[in-house]
Structure 1
Amino acid sequence: MQKNDDVLVRIGERRESLSAKQQKLADFILANYKTAAFQNSTKLARMAGVSGSTVIRFAEELGYDGFPGLQSALHRILQREINTVDMFLSADEAGENGTEEKQGKKGGFFQPCIDSLHKAEKSIDEAQVLQAAELLSRARNVYIVGFQASAFLAEYMSYFLSRIRRNVFRISGWGNSLFPLLPEEGWSEDAALIFTFPRFPAMSYALAQFFHEKGVPLVCVTSIPANRITELSEISIGVDIEYRTYVDHMTPALYVAEAIAKKVAKLSPETSVRQLELFESFTKGTHVFTS
């Protein structure tokens, strides 16, 4: 992360040029940023002892596109350093996960998820998604990596991608799960897809290093555009994930995985149909499903 991308550094550097009320808000955020990140603009203003308009002007003065931009910047700080205990306590202080209480009343049970999808949509580069699909479509072998909170994304992607193309491998670590899959040469003909979100699992980085050293092109799906894995990747897809509580809103990342898989299928329709037919024949013959 560049220095001026750190919201706390930005606040510190510009504090003296702010109005008295904005300085009061700045001091509150600097001292309570873990709690501030989980508030809506109205509640943050009340907690800091300023007006709602001061919060909006403060965000704009710092160069953000209104309060949502400021809140996203605070979330990026939390993604790097906050632990689950901090999140649990901060969410409790915010009153039933801060903005979710109000959103739930406004639009029902799924409103927070809907809002999260709308927000994430603005951050996703469709050209990068298409480039990722093209790489995965033509690769000889595809290795899919994801641990901890990203494990389900890797499982999801492995299952559906393997139904439309061959040689898709879910990598769950070193040893017997990886060694039999390794080719003797031609690594650049393969591709690896890595799902990784803060806090970044060490195994994800270790495998990214391994594939990078072997010359395997990497696709990284993450919420932090600049991290140790994206530095090794040919393609990086940023997904704006909101970290409001100790339970992350991962739905946008799931949809990105779905979008990539669909684009892979459309790029090679004949191969996809043939593989789907083989899948159906296999599941029928082995009684994988039941009525």
Structure 2
Amino acid sequence: MKPTTKAPRDYEELIRLIHDRYDEMSKSYQKIALYLTQNPNDVAVKSVNSIGDISGVHASSFVRFAQALGYEGFKELQSLFQKRLSTAAPGFEARVKALETELGGRVDQSEYGFMQDLVVRDIASLQDLLNGIDPDRLSEAVDLLEQADVIYLLGQLRSAPVVDLLRYILTMLGKRCVLLDPGGGLATHMARAMRTTDLLFAVSFRFYANEVVNVVEEAAQRDVPIVAISDSTLSPLAKSARVLFAVPEHEYTFSRSLAAPMCLAQAVTMGLAARIQKNTLNPRIPTVTAQ
């Protein structure tokens, strides 16, 4: 990556530059770029040595990365993340620090202790969601779902439960939807039936399923609108999506949680339900009751 002569002066400008330069970065620098975009709060509050240990990239590489973007060192780059955090929702920083203290102090090694650890981490990820999702983008996603003739749903591996939830809610709302099920190897062929009046809702996280990425790219080439949930604005889904929701994934002891993506999926469909039912106060999923 060629050195940048003028360093970005705010967080948004920095992220735009990282996106523009990502393809020309080395594998090591791409790993740093992913960490910075997925963990902005950690970057703001942790030392470069701690960040290096967590990300698996030597701290000196973070320093060189910052210098390649025009900064004197990592601290100057880090100050942009600190400013971003300081202007977050009121009380957000204090809540995050309290959660970090609770996570760091866990001494209960029982099964209940594991559950407590997972719950605390999910609380932190949900608070990140409140701070990271643009209300205008959420509204735009609901617009696209409302306008679509058919909504195609795509998610494999760990993403599958999210699209299964979407299929259930959309079906109960009376919205036509098609799950691009990988069973039988037909997902790619089924996706070719999508029209520009339809919508593709794709979900994928590291390590991105190849078929999901391929279907998304082919759909974008045919001008099919795409809403995507992924883990980073540098995700391979990002360049194709009309609306991308980046839900950063934190390294969990056992696995990465789906709490935040599931909550986001429900928020989008709740917004759609409110419009269909003309009820912004208390929209509901219709239920089947026994006679």
Q: CA 1:35 to 1:139, structure 2 compared with 1: closer, same or farther past 3 Å? A: same
1:8 CA displacement: 7.7
| Distance in 2 of aligned mates of 1:149 and 1:98 | 29
SS at match of 1:280: coil
* Residues 201-212 of structure 1 mapped to structure 2, 5 A cutoff: 201-212=209-220
Alignment-derived partner of residue 243 in structure 1: 251
In the alignment, does 2:131 pair up with 1:122?
A: yes
Does the Cα contact within 8 Å between 2:48 and 2:74 map onto a contact in 1? Answer: no
Q: CA 1:7 to 1:229, structure 2 compared with 1: closer, same or farther past 3 Å? A: closer
Alignment-derived partner of residue 193 in structure 1: 201
| Distance in 2 of aligned mates of 1:125 and 1:68 | 15
Alignment-derived partner of residue 39 in structure 2: none
Amino acid in the other structure paired with 1:196:
S
1:26 CA displacement: 4.9
1:66 CA displacement: 4.3
Of the two structures, which has the highest relative contact order with CA contacts closer than 8 Å and spacing of 6 or more? 1
Normalization by structure 1: what TM-score? 0.60
Alignment-derived partner of residue 275 in structure 2: 267
Does the Cα contact within 8 Å between 2:188 and 2:215 map onto a contact in 1? Answer: no
Query: Whose Rg is larger?
Result: 1
Alignment-derived partner of residue 150 in structure 2: 141
Q: Which of residues 263, 272, 278 is equivalent to 1:255?
A: 263
In the alignment, does 2:163 pair up with 1:154?
A: yes
In the alignment, does 2:226 pair up with 1:226?
A: no
SS at match of 1:62: helix
Amino acid in the other structure paired with 1:102:
G
* Higher mean C-alpha deviation, range 231-240 or range 136-145: 231-240
In the alignment, does 2:174 pair up with 1:172?
A: no
Q: CA 1:67 to 1:199, structure 2 compared with 1: closer, same or farther past 3 Å? A: farther
1:112 CA displacement: 2.0
| Distance in 1 of aligned mates of 2:32 and 2:243 | 29
Q: CA 1:270 to 1:112, structure 2 compared with 1: closer, same or farther past 3 Å? A: closer
Percentage of matched positions with identical amino acids: 13
Does the Cα contact within 8 Å between 1:241 and 1:250 map onto a contact in 2? Answer: no
Q: CA 1:102 to 1:59, structure 2 compared with 1: closer, same or farther past 3 Å? A: farther
1:62 CA displacement: 3.0
CA RMSD of aligned residues (A): 4.2
Q: CA 1:34 to 1:130, structure 2 compared with 1: closer, same or farther past 3 Å? A: same
Alignment-derived partner of residue 77 in structure 2: 62
Q: CA 1:264 to 1:9, structure 2 compared with 1: closer, same or farther past 3 Å? A: closer
SS at match of 1:198: coil
1:36 CA displacement: 8.5
Amino acid in the other structure paired with 1:220:
A
Does the Cα contact within 8 Å between 1:146 and 1:195 map onto a contact in 2? Answer: yes
Does the Cα contact within 8 Å between 2:151 and 2:178 map onto a contact in 1? Answer: yes
Q: Deviations for 1:79-125, whole angstroms, at most 9, x for unmatched residues?
A: xxxxxxxxxxxxxxxxxx99735268799552222122112321111
| Distance in 1 of aligned mates of 2:49 and 2:121 | 29
Amino acid in the other structure paired with 2:230:
T
Q: CA 1:152 to 1:182, structure 2 compared with 1: closer, same or farther past 3 Å? A: same
Q: CA 1:166 to 1:104, structure 2 compared with 1: closer, same or farther past 3 Å? A: farther
Gaps of 5+ in 1: 11-24, 38-43, 45-57, 70-96, 286-291
Q: Deviations for 1:24-72, whole angstroms, at most 9, x for unmatched residues?
A: x756865x454689xxxxxx9xxxxxxxxxxxxx975432434997xxx
Number of aligned pairs?
A: 217
